[in-house]
A and B are shown apart, each in its own frame.
Chain A
Amino acid sequence: MHVESSVRTKLITNVNEYTQITDDIARPIEAAPNKQWMFWTIVSAIVMTMGFALIGWTLWEGIGVWGLNTEVGWGFDITNFVFWVGIGHAGTLISAVLLLFRQTWRNSINRSAEAMTIFAVLCAAIFPTIHAGRVWDLIYFGPLPNTRGTLWDNFNSPLMWDVFAISTYLTVSLVFWYLGMIPDFATLRDRFKRQGKTTASNVYGIASFGWEGSARNWSRFEIISLILAGLCTPLVLSVHSIVSMDFATSVVPGWHTTIFPPYFVAGAIFSGFGMVQTLLVIMRKVYKLENYITIEHMENMAKIVLATGSIVGLAYSTEFFIAWYSGSFFERYVFINRAFGDYWWAYFAMFSCNVITPQLYWSKAIRQNMTVTFILSIFVNIGMWFERFVIIVTSLHHDFLPARWANYTPTFVEIGIFIGTFGLFFTCFFLFSKFLPTINMFEVKTLLHHPRKPKGIPNGVKDDSHSHH
C-alpha cells in the first residue's frame, strides 16, 4: 500500500489516471514519424555510415592511416573507448544503484538512461577492436584452444580483464534493460490489439514473451530485478576500475597511480549524467514528457553532476599534490608538462569544463534553467573527452628517452571514426525513442496515488479507497 508523506513533491505532475500514463508514453510510438525525426535520424545514419566507411578504410590500409606514432601509440582510439564506456555508467547508476537506494525519481529516467548505456558501450567496443588492427584475429581474445603455438590469453593483463569486463557489462545491461521492457511490451501489445492494429500488436507480442502481469510473476520479476541491480552495482564499479587499470598497472609516469579506479568511476558517472542531461533536455521537450521528467528530475541530475564534478576536481588536485609530494622528479615533470606543456589547451579545456563550469549548478535558478543545463551538459561531455585525451597523450608524448619525444595529431580518419560513433549512438537513440517505450510505464504507474476512475467503468461502483488516506 502507498505510504508516502503528502508534503513530498510529486514525482509526476498532472497525471490522474493509469491509462493516461500509457497514452502519454505510447503516443510517440503510435504517431506517424514526423519530418524532424526523419531528418535527424537520416543525418545520424549518414554520419554513422561515414564512420563505418572510415573503419573499412582503416582495416583495408591498416592503422597507418591514423596519426599514431611509436611514441604516442594510444590516441583517439583509446580516448574514445574510455569516453564512451564512461558515458554508459550513468545508465547503470540510475537503473541499479538508485534502485537499491529506493530512489523512486529514477523511475521516469531509467529506461532512456539504460538505452544510452547500451548504445554507448556499443560505440566503446568499436575502438579497442579496430585499434587491434587485424580484427579477424580477435577471436583469440576468447579462451579458445588452438593449434597456433603460444597463443593463449594472458590473464595477468588488464587489457584481457577489459575484454571480460566490457562483454559482461554489455550483455548484463542488455538483459536488465530488456527484462524491464517486457511488461511495457505487453501493455503496448494489448493496447494495439484494442485499437485493431494487429501487426503492431503481434510485433510487440513476440517481444513481450507472453507477459500477463500475474502476481506470481511480478513477485519473481521484482526479486530478480533487485538481484540484477545488486549484481550491476559492483559490476559498474568494476568495469571502470578495470578500464583505469589499463593505465594504473603500467609504469608510465602520470598513469602509475593508485587514485585511478575511484577517480575514473567518479569521472564516468559525471560524464554519463552529462550525457543523460543532454538527451533528456531534448527528449522531454520533443515528446512532451515534462509531466514525467520534471524540473525536479533535471535538478537531481544537476546535483549529481555538481557532486561528481567536484570529486573529479579533487582528484585532479590530489594528483598534482602527490606529484609534488612524492619528490619524484619525473612524476613532477609529467604533471607540469600536462598543464603547461604542448597540450596545455587540452588540460585547460578539461579543467574548465569539468571543474569550473559545473560549479554554476550551486544556483537553483541555473539548475532549473533547461537552456543553461543543456549548454553545461555539452561542456561536461567535452571536458570528459579531454580528460581522457590529456591522461593518455600527455603521459605518452614525452617518455623516458627525450630523443624519442613526439607530438600526436589525429588524421581525418580518426576524427571521422569518432564523429561516426556519434552517428551510431544517435541513430540507435532516435530509433529507440520512436519504437520503444522511452519511459518505464509500469514503474511510473506505481508513483500515481489516488487514481481517477477510468472511462468505461459503470456508475454506482463502490470505491472507498480514499477513506484510508
Chain B
Amino acid sequence: MKSNLIVAKFWNPDTMMDALADIHHKGVPVYDCYTPFPVHGIEAYMDIKRTRLSIASFVFGCMGLIAALLLMAGTYSHLYNLDWWGLDFISWPMDIGGKPSLAWVDFVPIAFELTVLFAAHGMVITFFIVAKYYPGKEAKLLDDRQTDDVFVVAIDGDKIKSEKEGDLMEVLRNHGAFDVSKTA
C-alpha cells in the first residue's frame, strides 16, 4: 500500500458516491476505493478503464479452439498430408466402419468445450496475476471493516497541494465521512 494517503470512511455507499462525484468535479485524483461489495458507477469517478480481461478471455478461447482442432485433425494428419505440421506424434488414423475420418461435425463438441476451458481458466489466472492475488497473500487494509460495512475512499496525498489538504478533508467530512485521516 502506498504511504501518505488521505483516507475518508463512510458507512453509506450513496454518501460515498456523492463525495466522489464532488471531488471528481473538483479535479481531485482518487487513489482507490475499498468497499464491501461492488458499487456501480464508481469507475467513472476514478477514471478506471474497462478491463481488458475480456480480450484476454477471447485470446485464450481462440487458443483452446486451435488446440482442439489441431488435436482432432492431427489424428488424421497422415491421411491429409498434414504431418509436416509436426502433428505426426498424435497421428493415429482409425478406420471405423469406413466412416469419413475428417468428419468435422464430430469435432464441434470438443472444439467448443476446449474453447470454454481455455477461455475461462486463462482469464481467471490472468485476473489473479494482474490483481496480484495469490493464496496466503496478506491483505493490506485501511479499515478492518472495509470487507464488512465500511466504505473507504483513499486519495493520494502526494498529488494534493499541502495548503489544500485541510479543505479537501473538510469537504469529505461534510459529505458524511465519519472518519477522515492521513496515513503515514
Contacts and interface: CB of A to CB of B under 8 A. Distances in A.
Interface in A238-258: 238, 242, 245
A217 B34 CA distance: 9
Interface in B11-53: 11-12, 14-15, 17-18, 32-43, 46, 48, 50-51, 53
Interface stretch (B77-85, B86-94, B159-167): B86-94
Contacts of A454: 11, 149
Contacts of B32: 214-216
A463 B15 contact: yes
B54 interface: yes
Residues of B in contact with A, size category? 35 or more
Contact of B116 (A172, A223, A453): A172
B148 A187 contact: yes
Contact of B37 (A1, A175, A445, A465): A445
Given A218-B42, A223-B51, 4 more contacts: A1-B40, A172-B120, A231-B119, A451-B12
Which of A1, A2, A18 has its CB near the most chain B CB atoms (within 10 A)? Answer: A18
16 contacts: A153-B75, A156-B99, A164-B117, A165-B113, A205-B136, A207-B135, A209-B137, A210-B139, A215-B35, A215-B48, A219-B38, A224-B57, A228-B124, A245-B109, A442-B36, A458-B178
Interface string B118-141: 011101100110111111111111
Nearest to B9: A457
A220 B131 contact: yes
A349 to B, nearest CB: 32
A212 B176 CA distance: 23
B178 A457 contact: yes
A228 B147 contact: no
B38 A165 contact: no
B146 A213 contact: yes
B145 A152 contact: no
A164 B109 contact: yes
Contacts of B103: 156
B158 interface: no
Interface of B: 11-12, 14-15, 17-18, 32-43, 46, 48, 50-51, 53-54, 57, 71-72, 75, 89-90, 92, 94, 96, 99, 103, 106-107, 109-110, 112-114, 116-117, 119-121, 123-124, 127-128, 130-141, 144-149, 173-178
A172 B117 contact: yes
Contacts of B120: 172, 175-176, 228, 231-232
B149 A161 contact: no
Contacts of B12: 451, 453, 463, 465
Contact of A161 (B18, B110, B134): B110
Majority-rule SS of A interface residues: helix
Given A208-B139, A215-B33, A451-B12, A190 B145 contact: yes
A468 interface: yes
A432 interface: no
A209 B135 contact: yes
Contacts of A322: none
